[in-house]
Amino acid sequence: MDKDYSTADSVLIEGGRIKAVGREAECRAIATHAEEVNLDGQTVIPGFIDPHGHFPDSGFLKLHRVDLSPPPLGACSNIAEVLEQLHQKARVTKPGDWVVGAMINPAELEEKRFPTRNELDAVSVEHPVWLFHVSGHAGVANSLALAFRAVDKNSQDPAGGKFGRDPLTGELNGLCEGMSAMGKMGDSEFQISYEKFLSAYVDAADEYLGQGVTLAQNAWATKTLLGYFGQIANESHPPIDTMVLPAGFLEPKLTAGELDIPLPEPGSGIFLGPRKVFVDGSFHLQTACLTQPYFKPLNGDPHHRCELPFSREQMVTRISKLHDLGFQCHIHANGDAAADLALDAIEAAQRANRREDHRHTLIHSQNLREDQLDRMATAGVSVSFFPAHLHYFGDFHSAVTFGPDRVRNMCPTRWAEERGIRFTIHNDAQVTPTRPLHLMWCAVNRQSLSGKTIGQDQALSPLSALRAHTIDAAWQVFQEHDRGSIEAGKRADFAVLSGNPLDDPENMQKLSVSQTLVLGETRYRS
């Protein structure tokens, strides 16, 4: 994964770093008393780097929440199955403690809706019950959870959010749509103790290392989570390196040391990265902001595009503050209208205070237009795409979000590549699970669950997909000097694969990770 697209048959490691890479004879010539490992024809690549995710959410899902995923990732096909899973959790949960479900996707349930407040009250009136939508941008609550949120039928919808209501009585039906409507329940920090966080960290680390990932990412850390990451970094030996993206609103107090939380010490394996900013929401909920109406608007309004929650002036202020402080911004902008706003803000910040290598990055940006990609190439803006959507949700986007014509250019990786824009691909775990080989397969084959190919003209080559998850992922967060390729001087972070992912593009997802090394030490072996 170097700039020359080199391959080699031997690598020499010393002190956790790559000392030499090339032909076997060359490495042997400078090796002194070296231990020899013969991988018998397997393929070694740089360890995968997670460009955008929410580590250790998968550990929370496994250990502390109820997985309400529909097939093929889970077993909940209808509301009765959702409620039964919640009943089982409530039976073993102390009264008063929360019962939290995650990964629910009404679009994939037979009823095509969320459970209601009354249905969740039937699960338990002794536990607050709260379910996260698969996107993380909405949830549904029972009466106790709504009481915790301190809202009732007289509560006004907050800016950028909405409370679901019974159309006849006006009573809240439990739905909280948007980050502002979810409030504290959106971050769920009130449910998280340090002990639970540490257990989720260790479990998720095992999962990630088993998939060949050597650098994880948490892409939205508020004050409490930052403190937990700092505590893990300083009190234990983190099993996997993690880049943590603080919420943008914490600055400048975070950098000024005014938050009174432990921050990771240098060299601990946990470190801070770009600052995170949100512009819009989710395509599933149709809270992502588009310039053209949704193909089948869920609210019945044929002109529905989702209004932007911020003005241009507000977004320029947010981005300029972080830009002027010297931070890189990762900006959640799902729809093209949101991307317009983000690009306006970046360009305004650059005009006022030019930085030659800011690497501000749009996150998701599923329906970028060609004129926007032209602007990005000129402004030095990067992007992290979400091609797993094409597989898990492509049929939904074809039928509901964009329609069969517009969906073909969803996740336009080829357009970005043609313009020389350096980009990455991600899973946004836990929205879709961290499976790098499968993610690459999604970007290369663009095949939905029903087997349809969605926009083959936008497909990546296997090599481009691999670069997007290794060296380009390192570059996107200013780590290319130390990670992402197998070159002398860099960290000896490797994934050993059962075969070469470039050889059989249609079946690369069937390869397995047999070993993961971090600084030359085996952290996972199948």
- DSSP class of residue 397 equals I
What's the confidence (pLDDT) of residue 467? 98
Domain residue ranges in the chain: 69-189, 274-460
What's the confidence (pLDDT) of residue 159? 85
What's the confidence (pLDDT) of residue 339? 98
Q: Is the pLDDT of residue 377 over 80?
A: yes
> Chain centroid to CA 409: how far?
21
What's the confidence (pLDDT) of residue 343? 98
φ and ψ of 184, to 5 deg: -60, -25
What's the confidence (pLDDT) of residue 331? 98
Q: Is the pLDDT of residue 189 over 80?
A: no
- Answer whether CATH 3.20.20.140 is correct for domain 274-460: yes
Distances (CA, A) of 450 to 55, 135, 398, 459: 29, 21, 11, 18
- For strand 17-22 and strand 10-14, is the pairing parallel, antiparallel, or unpaired? antiparallel
- Lowest pLDDT segment from 14-23, 83-92, 160-169: 160-169
What's the confidence (pLDDT) of residue 32? 84
- Cite the DSSP H helix spans in 56-193: 57-64, 79-91, 117-123, 143-149, 179-182, 184-187
What's the confidence (pLDDT) of residue 479? 98
Mean pLDDT of the region 407-422: 98
Mean pLDDT of the region 171-178: 94
Fold of 69-189: Diaminopimelate Epimerase; Chain A, domain 1 (3.10.310)
Q: Is the pLDDT of residue 414 over 90?
A: yes
- For strand 513-518 and strand 494-497, is the pairing parallel, antiparallel, or unpaired? antiparallel
φ and ψ of 179, to 5 deg: -60, -40
> What does the mean pLDDT of the chain come to?
96
pLDDT band at residue 313 using 50, 70 and 90 as cut-offs: very high
Mean pLDDT of the region 180-206: 90
The answer to whether the 69-189 and 274-460 domains have the same CATH topology is: no
Q: Is the pLDDT of residue 244 over 80?
A: yes
Structure token pair of residue 431: 């929205």
Please, are residues 60 and 199 in contact by the beta-carbon 8 Å criterion? Answer: no
Q: Is the pLDDT of residue 188 over 80?
A: no
Instruction: Return all residues near 37 (Cβ < 8 A) that are at least 6 apart.
Output: none
